[in-house]
Structures are given as C-alpha cells and as structure tokens.
Structure 1
Amino acid sequence: MAAQQAMEGLRELAGAGLTAEKVFRRADELLRTLLEYDAVCWHSADPATGLVTSVLSDDLSLTEFETAVHLEVWADDVATFPAIRRSGVRAETLSRVTGGRPADSVRFREMIAPAGFGDELRAVFDAHGGMWGCAAFMRAADRGPFLAQQRELADLAARHLGNALRACHVPPVGADGRRETEPGGGPEDEGPAVVVLGPANRPLALSGPAEELLDRLADPSRTSLGVPTAFAVAAEQARRAARGLAVPQSKIRVQDSEGRWYVLHGSPLKGGSEGEVTVVAAPATPADAMPLYLSAYGLTAREQEVALLLVRGCDTRDVSRLLAMKPYTVQDHLKSVFAKAGVASRRELVARIMLGGGTA
C-alpha cells in the first residue's frame, strides 16, 4: 500500500508545475523510507545526451565533487548512467551488476566505500526520448545491499520522475501569450559567455555575461567546483575529445532558472597550461532548442516529426507524402500536437516552438 501511494504521489508531480529541485525534494520524501537509502545525489541532465548538468544533495558533502565529475566522465566503470540507459532498464545496483563484488567498481573504491557506504542504486529518468535527470542512492555498509524489490521499485519510480522532470521544462505561458519568465530583449541579445577553467574545473577567468549566467545556472547544492556542474562536464568532455576518446556530443544543453536553453561547448585552451579549458555558453538557437521543446511538451517521436515538418513550412499534403501517412492520420497527429502544446493552430504552434513557449 505504501509503495502504491508513493507511486501515485510521483505520478502527480508531472502536473504540479514544480521546478526540478522541488520534484527531487518531494521524491526524496516519498522514496527514502521505501528504498531505505542513507544518502542521495539528484541530477538534472541534458535530455539529448544524458550528460549530468546539476547536483542536489542534502546528505553528502560535495567538497571533492571535482573527483566525482572526473570519474563520471573518464572512468571505464560499471552501472554508469549511460550504461544503465543503454541496458533497457531504468535502475541498477552495484551489488547486482557486479555479482556481489561492488569493489569491482572504481567509483565504489574511490568514493562510495571511503564515505562509509556499501551499495549504490542508480536510476535514470527518461521520458519521450529524452533523459531529463538521474539519481544515485547510497546505503550504509552495515545495512547490506539494496534488495531486488527495491531496485524494481526504483525502476518504476524512474518512469514517473522522467515525466515530472520533462514537465518542468515546459516554459510557462502568461495570460498575454508571452513566456512569463521572458524579460525584455531576450537571450539572443546577450552574446556568448566565456569561462576559462583550470585542471580541477575551477574558474580562472570570465568574460562576456559569464558571471550573471553562472548565477542563473548554479547548482541547487554548493560544490567544490566554483562553477555549475554543466560547465565542469563540458570541460571534461573537451579534454576527452582532445585525447581522441569518444564523447556523446561536443556540446551540452542546459536550461537556466528562467526557462531559457543554453548550449555549452568546451575546447582546450591553446597556449595555456595543461588541462586548461575554455567553455563558451551561448543562447540556444531555434535548431538547438526545438527538439527539446517538442520533447518537453510530451510529443511522441512521430508527433515530433510532424511538428518539425510544420515548422519547416510543410502543409498536410507534404507531411503525408514525406512521412508516408494518410492525410487523416496526419490530422490526428496534428490534433494531439496542438493539445499537448496548448495551441489552436499551426501558426501558434510554429510561434510557440520558435519563441520557446511564447506565441505570436
């Protein structure tokens, strides 16, 4: 009964109009007793790549968070967030994936065990083709490993949390049809922000509107980095790419506290000391942001294809031909798209997607 009530509570979060931080805090209230964990790190993520972009933890001291970021990007480890996502499940434990030998994990040896924990349960929060967040739950060593039913419960909870976090990224629209958080001018007037990071991902220099942007992208929890997690991850991705190693993508998308999307791109600093990286953060272009808004509105993959063709100027006949659909099937998809995006016409849909929530 308690598990059923918790799942219902998580399901309701998708319609509660909460921020990601509030979703995480409410999820903690609902899940801590059921999963029996002693500490948790909650993370937002770039929905396109699944790369972590923020951290929230009231249980852990994040005084060595640069080590956690480095391990997350560089370590060839088990039960990583990307590995869990690829596996087809939403939750996994170190004890299960290592066959009862969690010390096979480098992050267990270097961070989890020294902190006094004996097992880790990780979950990824996917919804509508995007990974909107993830979490790592830790249990004290003297309490034994997570149970199979707790992993299964976390898997179910992750589905609801994916939908709740997706809903967080839908820009609010005011009574006048404009985005409630949109100040005069808009992000396109800002220009790029540039941050130079040292080997430990602490800032060495700032230029452009960087200082103000860093405040808006700040993590809910204070870390040892001195910059938001997204900047540190972008820097580590750049260092990997410079070594000729595979990276999910060279850019990371992150949403600020006002609902605007930014694209972060890191590159090694030419002429600088070893390990120094420049991270450039620029307002997302419509091409960068459109797929994110379409996912945030909860559109299916097919509905997103229809919506993108409309943005490109296609009419029903064009969409029918390009997607090999009957015209009435296209119309059915359009009705669903309009309902989910809260618009009544193609013109409104195009304007809302292009303006990031506003209407013409």
Structure 2
Amino acid sequence: MISRREVERQVISDLRDLARAGLSAPEVFRQADPMLRDVLGFDAVCWHTTDPATGLVNSVLTDDLELDDFRQAVQLEIWGDDVARFPEIRLSGRGADTLSRATGGVLRRSLRYREQIAPAGFGDELRAVFDAGGGMWGCAAFMRAPDRGPYRAGELVLAQRAARHLGIALQRSQLLHSPFTQPPLPPAVVVLGPDNHLLGADEQAERLLGEFTDDSGSIFTVPTSFVMVAEQARSAATGIRTPSGLRVRGRDGRWFVLHASLLRGKADGPAAVVITPASPADIMPVVFASYGLTPSEREVALRIVQGRSTGDIAQILCTTPLTVQDHLKSIFTKAGVRSRREFVARLLMAHPPDVWT
C-alpha cells in the first residue's frame, strides 16, 4: 500500500512537471485540480489568475461553484475586512493559509465564512497564492464539506509546497507570447452599471471583450477583470483603497491595462472602464518578475532602461560602482543576455527567460 508521504511526493513531482509544460493558465488549473483534490481533501475550488505586479484578481475559473454568489465574493474581497485574505497571505510569506488556523478554530469569526462559505454549504477554506520571481501570478480558494473537519497541518504544508510550483507554471503561461508583435490598438471604453452589468461599449471594446472572457461573464455580462477594476474605483471613491490600473493578458498573448472612473463621482453610480494596450513601461514589472530579479536588481534594471551609466546608477542608489557591476552580472545571467543593449532589446520585446526552473 502506498503511504501518504509517497503520494505527496508524487504530487509535487507531477506539479514540477506541470510547471515545465508551458501550458495556458486554464490548462494549468484543469490539470492541477485532479492532482490536488484527493490529497488536499477539498470539495470545491475557485481558481484565479492575477495581475502579477499588484496581485489583483483578473479572472475566475471553477467547475464546482455556482457563480450566482460570485458578485458577493467580489464585494467581500474588495470591501470586506477579513482574515486569511489573499493579500494577507502573500504578505505573510506563507503561500497558503486556512480559515480554521486564522480564526483559532472559530470559523464564524470570519465575515467571509458567515456570509458566503457557510451559506453555500462548506466548512473550512484553504487559500493559496501562486508567487514566483517576485510576482503573484494567481491564487485559489479550496473549500471542503463541514463533515471533513478543518484542514490539517500536513495538508496546509502540502498546499504551501504546491503553490510554489503552480506559481512557476502560471509565470510561464502568462509570458508565452510577446505582447508587442501585434499591430497597436486604440483605447476602448466599456460602461458598467452600479451592479457591474454591461451598459454599453464602443466598437473597439466590443471586439476586445472576447479577449478576456472567463467564467464570470454569465453573471456580470463582462469578464472578472472589468468588475474588479470598477470595484477598485468604487472603493477608492469612499477612501477605502487607492485606485490602480489592472494588467490583464488577452487570449492571443497581448497585455492590456484597465482603468476605471466613476461617471457621476459616486460609488453607487455607473463606471467607465478604459482598455489600453500595455506599453513596455506597463509590462516591465511583469518581465522583471519573470526573470526573478531581486528588488535591488530591479532598481538597477530600471536605470539601465533609462540609459544611466554605472556611476550614475551608483550615485542614485547610494551604493558603489562595484556593487552595481555585481547586480548587472546577475541581471544579465537571469535574463540570458550579455550586454545592456541586449537586455533593453529583450525588455522591449518582453521575451521570457530561455531557462525555467
């Protein structure tokens, strides 16, 4: 009989292979589901891709959950103050957490549990964030039936290990194509009502909506990314959050940036979402994350793009030219180039690294 440890070892091996396979994000999720379902002991899962630079959710995929409740999930994620939220898990560095651990075993301390998880018939929830190379490429929520009891410590540890490999798999899936090889597109505008349903779209936006289609379209009539950026703008209007753009990758590999503004300046009014093709500057944080650059290396890399000399970079960053040279060597090695010129050219084309670990 195969022991649980052997099963877990095989699951991690399979996930490591999955990370090397070069699959799209939906394919990664579809293949990871059966690998993890039995060994983690969950009954339903909701998978998400995210903006790698900000960690904001930009898509949803699930075969288990009725998305009639997803509107409430968005509200709780943006407006709610709860435990074991995706940003908190990421900041903690744990990679995964459970409601039972975060609430000390009293699940009803969680707003999310009281208003969404329990009414849907589930008990404990395990959440994982899929980080790699300094970027957050996705996340997932795993729910289990109440009679299974809380997630055990060993299951949480396995989820934390699995999250790393899924991060690498999604990191690669988001950079399979260069976003700057297609002809440039003009900006497009979508207007959403207070309930985030589609009120109108210009001709360009109508063509682009299909680029971001995911499972939430049947609920909101627009993809998740549009709802998330609109809710960000609504929460910013009340002073809860700072407004920010949302990067999202289209089906053909192009990256776009979504920005939302409230047409009447009120959180309960309609919102306009502007879709613009991502510029090299917009996509640079994603590429830096794909190379796995450290924060110091990113600072140096940014100055390389600006055309700064080694001496200038050292002065700006209050360090020595020798330290800058060491960073340059590391940056070039990670990016697979030999010179500043090659590095800048590769950034402008947004090529992923040639070697993935």
**TM-score when normalising by structure 1:** 0.88
Distance 1:19 1:220, change over 3 A: farther
Tell me the equivalent position of 2:227: 232
Identity %: 56
Q: How far apart are the structure 2 equivalents of 1:272 and 1:331?
A: 51
Structure 2 residue 347 is the aligned partner of structure 1 residue 353: yes
SS in structure 1 of the partner of residue 253 of structure 2 = coil
Structure 1 Cα separation of the partners of residues 148 and 90 of structure 2: 27
Deviations 1:161-204 (A, max 9, x none): 222222222244xxxxxx49833x23xxx221111111221100
1:15 maps to amino acid = R
Task: State the match for 1:99 in structure 2.
Answer: 104
**Relative to 1, partners in 2 of residues 1:105 and 1:127: Cα closer, same or farther, differing over 3 Å?**
same
What is the CA–CA distance in structure 2 between the aligned matches of 1:104 and 1:312, rounded to whole Å? 49
Aligned residue type for 1:80: R
Gap change, CA 1:140 and 1:271, over 3 Å in 2? closer
The structure-2 alpha-carbon separation of the partners of 1:274 and 1:97, relative to structure 1 and needing over 3 Å to count, comes to closer
Match for residue 148 of structure 1? 153
The separation in 1 between residues aligned to 2:82 and 2:151, in whole angstroms, is 19
2:291 paired residue number: 297
After superposition, residues 39-188 of structure 1 pair within 5 angstroms as 39-172=44-177, 179=178, 182-183=181-182, 185-186=183-184
SS at match of 1:279: strand
Tell me by how many angstroms 1:297 deviates: 2.5
Give ranges in structure 1 of 5+ residues lacking alignment. Answer: 173-178
- CA distance in 2 between counterparts of 1:223 and 1:93 reads 29
Instruction: Answer whether contact 1:217 1:255 (CA < 8 A) is retained.
Output: yes
Question: Take 1:236 and 1:273, find their aligned partners in 2: how far apart are those partners?
Answer: 8
Q: Which whole-Å CA distance do the structure 1 matches of 2:29 and 2:333 have between them?
A: 27
Distance 1:71 1:309 in 2: 39
Do the aligned residues in 2 keep the contact of 1:21 with 1:220 (CA within 8 Å)? Answer: no
Residues 62-90 of structure 1: per-residue CA shift (max 9 Å, x gap): 13321211111111222111122223321
Quick one: structure 1 residues 5 and 151, their matched pair in 2 at CA, closer, same or farther if it must change by over 3 Å? Answer: same
Matches of 2:267 and 2:34 in 1, distance apart?
A: 45
Report the 3-state secondary structure (helix = DSSP H, G, I; strand = E; otherwise coil) of the residue aligned with 1:262: strand
Root-mean-square deviation over aligned CA pairs: 2.4
- C-alpha deviation, 1:12, in angstroms: 3.0
Distance 1:204 1:221 in 2: 16
Counterpart of 2:206, as a letter, is E
Match of 2:9 in 1: 4
Cα offset, 1:305, TM superposition: 2.4
- Alpha-carbon distance in 2 for matches of 1:111, 1:256: 30
Change (3 A) 1:252 1:273: closer
State the number of aligned residues: 347
8 Å CA contact retained: 1:65, 1:223: no
Among 254, 265, 271, the residue aligned to 1:260: 254
Inter-CA distance 274–323: structure 2 relative to 1 (3 Å threshold): closer
Counterpart of 1:280 (choices 246, 259, 274) is 274
Between 1:150-159 and 1:8-17, the stretch displaced more is 8-17
Deviation at 1:345, TM superposition (A): 3.2
- How big is the shift at 1:114? 1.7
The aligned amino acid for 2:247 is R
Query: Displacement of 1:357 after TM fit?
Result: 2.9
How big is the shift at 1:295? 0.9
TM-score by length of 2: 0.89
